[in-house]
Structure 1
């Protein structure tokens, strides 16, 4: 049983990506904004294994789903001010 606390850093590790704060910030900078019509797992930059992991995390509401949602939100365009 996996008892690791899941956070953005451990999600990046799970995806096989550099997981320090600077690497995460850089990843978000270079991949943002993700088109609102494109599901996160369908973004063109993912390797098929990463894409499948992200899709399953949300579809199965796994322990990773909250962090996948957080990453998704960070990659979306900023909401327009009212």
Structure 2
């Protein structure tokens, strides 16, 4: 069981991605999604990353909020 506090940094760590602020911002900038693409369906996730995001989305706790924040950030440029 993972007991880390829900945060964008901890989410990126769990996804196996660089988790410093600059890396998070660069990832978001480089991976903008179209409006019709749900975060869990983004083509750049591995199977494990996709499963982690899906799990955190349905838990309906503080992790859901963090995943939603990432989802919003990945759709900033969406039309």
Measured against the shorter chain, the TM-score band is 0.7 to 0.9
Query: Is the counterpart of residue 53 in structure 1 residue 52 in structure 2?
Result: yes
Deviation at 1:60, TM superposition (A): 2.7
Aligned to 1:31: 31
Structure of larger gyration radius: 1
| Residue 68 (1) aligns with residue 61 (2) | no
Q: Give me the TM-score of the superposition, normalised by structure 2.
A: 0.86
Gaps of at least 5 residues in structure 2 are none
The number of residue pairs the alignment matches comes to 79
What are structure 1's unaligned runs of at least 5 residues? none
Which residue of the partner structure matches residue 5 of structure 1? 5
| Distance (Å, rounded) in 2 between the aligned partners of 1:37 and 1:4 | 31
> RMSD in angstroms over aligned alpha carbons?
2.0
Does the 8 Å CA contact 2:34/2:78 hold for their aligned counterparts? no
Q: TM-score, normalised by structure 1?
A: 0.83
Distance 1:23 1:70, change over 3 A: same
